[in-house]
């Protein structure tokens, strides 16, 4: 085989491999679902509207139960009340609007909660 022909075969093979890798990478990205938060517990699962009072400071995730999509998330303090209303497409903290989100009234949503680490005690040697 001539060197030109070998080089052409090599380039075609390389181009084919590049297309296959690009396609696989694109497919993997579109098929991935967001990773659910480790250690978080479902505390509410309802359609329409839901509410949860945090027993301690922690993180909240609002999850679409049908497709496991994370719709909203954030850190909240002890005693905060996190709420969502699908009809209004809103989430609330302590009765005040926190964000506009896209919600479907006919779907169920989960509120997941995970407590944050305790604050250091006053006599633990830290300044």
pLDDT in tens, 116-126: 975 444 444 44
**Residue that the structure tokens 């006599």 belong to:** 123
Provide the pLDDT for residue 80.
97
Q: Are 74 and 59 in contact (CB under 8 A)?
A: yes
Provide the pLDDT for residue 6.
64
Half-sphere exposure of 90 (CA within 13 A, CB side): 9
Instruction: Using pLDDT thresholds of 50, 70 and 90, give the confidence band for residue 44.
Output: very high
More confident residue, 54 or 9: 54
Q: Average pLDDT for residues 38-54, to the nearest whole number?
A: 95
Q: Which residues of 90-101 are buried (b: 16+ CB within 10 A; e: fewer)?
A: bbbbeeeebeeb
Q: How far is CA 30 from the centre of its chain?
A: 15
Provide the pLDDT for residue 117.
74
| The pair of three-digit structure tokens given for residue 28, joined into one six-digit string | 């993997």
| The pair of three-digit structure tokens given for residue 109, joined into one six-digit string | 């949503």
Distance between CA atoms of residues 56 and 76, nearest Å: 9
Q: Strand, helix or coil at 106?
A: coil
pLDDT in tens, 64-102: 999 999 999 999 999 999 999 999 999 999 999 999 999
Provide the pLDDT for residue 79.
97
Q: How many residues does the chain have?
A: 127
pTM above 0.85, yes or no: no
């Amino acid at each position: 085989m001539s060197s030109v022909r070998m080089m052409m075969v090599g380039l075609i093979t390389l181009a084919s491999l590049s297309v296959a890798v690009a396609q696989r990478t694109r497919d993997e990205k579109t098929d991935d679902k967001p990773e659910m938060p480790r250690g978080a517990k479902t505390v509410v699962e309802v359609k329409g509207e839901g509410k949860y009072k945090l027993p301690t400071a922690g993180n909240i995730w609002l999850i679409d139960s049908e497709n496991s999509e994370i719709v909203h998330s954030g850190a909240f303090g002890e005693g905060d009340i996190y709420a969502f209303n699908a009809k209004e497409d809103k989430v609330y903290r302590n009765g005040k609007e926190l964000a506009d989100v896209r919600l479907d009234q006919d779907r169920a949503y989960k509120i997941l909660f995970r407590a944050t680490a305790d604050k250091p005690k006053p006599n633990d040697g830290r300044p």
